[in-house]
């Protein structure tokens, strides 16, 4: 079992980020067109303060809901893909790397979820948690250590 190095992991994450961004961009475009269309039917000259406040609250609520749904979709993408039989996201598959537990077995969904949310800590400390993958013996980032995972070449 050979460990996937920092740059290979970085490239896989970049591929995943580009894919996720494209999908999110399309969804945001559709959402934005729908929002614009619904707002275009209201004449601003005939709008009273209550209507304006209601519309503003609706837009803010919609944006918050949309952000939460996109965040949940991103979590599910990583956790489901890495705990699947493929043991990899699309970016990792493209570079022939997989995520395993410390024994080389497939991750449970819970462990993959812990790894995903551990990335918040890896990034919060000036990305040092990610950079660690370039310097540790088993090429583990902080979130890998937290979840007890390895990223290895297939």
How confident is the model over 13-67, as pLDDT tens digits?
Answer: 999 999 999 998 998 888 777 777 776 777 777 778 887 788 788 888 888 988 8
Render pLDDT for 61-93 as a digit per residue (tens, 0 to 9): 888 988 898 899 999 999 999 999 999 999 999
Query: What is the structure's pLDDT at 53?
Result: 83
**In this structure, is residue 105 part of a structural domain?**
yes
Taking the C-alpha atoms of residue 97 and residue 64, their distance in angstroms, rounded to an integer, is: 35
Does 107 fall in a domain? yes
Q: What confidence score (pLDDT) does residue 102 get?
A: 98
The DSSP H or E segment spanning 149 is strand 149-153
Percent helix / strand / coil, the chain, rounded to 5: 70, 5, 25
Q: For 110-144, how does the pLDDT look when each residue is reduced to its tens digit (9 = 90+)? A: 999 999 999 999 999 999 999 999 999 999 999 99
Under a CB-based contact definition with an 8 Å cutoff, are residues 153 and 2 in contact? yes
- Phi-psi domain of 42 (left: phi exceeds 0; alpha: psi -120 through 50; beta: other): beta
Whether residue 146 lies inside any domain: the answer is yes
- The parent domain of residue 138 ranges over 6-153
Q: CA-CA distances (angstroms) from residue 69 to 24, 27, 63, 72?
A: 11, 11, 10, 5
Please check whether residue 53 lies inside any domain of the structure.
yes
Domain contains 51? yes
- As for how many domains the chain has, the answer is 1
CA angle 153, 9, 148 (to 5 degrees): 75
Within-domain flag for 44: yes
- Asked if residue 1 is part of any domain, the answer here is no
List pLDDT tens digits, range 28-42.
Answer: 888 777 777 776 777
């Amino acid at each position: 079992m050979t460990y996937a190095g920092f740059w290979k992991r970085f490239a896989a994450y970049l591929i995943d980020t580009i894919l996720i961004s494209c999908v999110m961009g399309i969804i945001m475009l559709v959402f934005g067109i729908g929002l614009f269309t619904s707002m275009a039917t209201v004449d601003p000259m005939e709008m009273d303060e209550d209507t304006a406040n209601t519309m503003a609250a609706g837009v803010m609520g919609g944006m918050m809901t949309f952000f939460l749904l996109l965040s949940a979709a991103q979590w599910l993408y990583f956790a489901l893909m890495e705990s699947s039989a493929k043991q990899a996201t699309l970016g990792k598959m493209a570079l022939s790397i997989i995520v395993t537990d410390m024994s080389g077995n497939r991750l449970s969904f819970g462990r993959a979820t812990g790894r995903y949310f551990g990335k918040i800590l890896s990034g919060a400390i000036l990305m040092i948690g990610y950079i660690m993958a370039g310097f540790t013996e088993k090429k583990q980032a902080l979130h890998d250590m937290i979840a007890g995972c390895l990223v290895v070449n297939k």
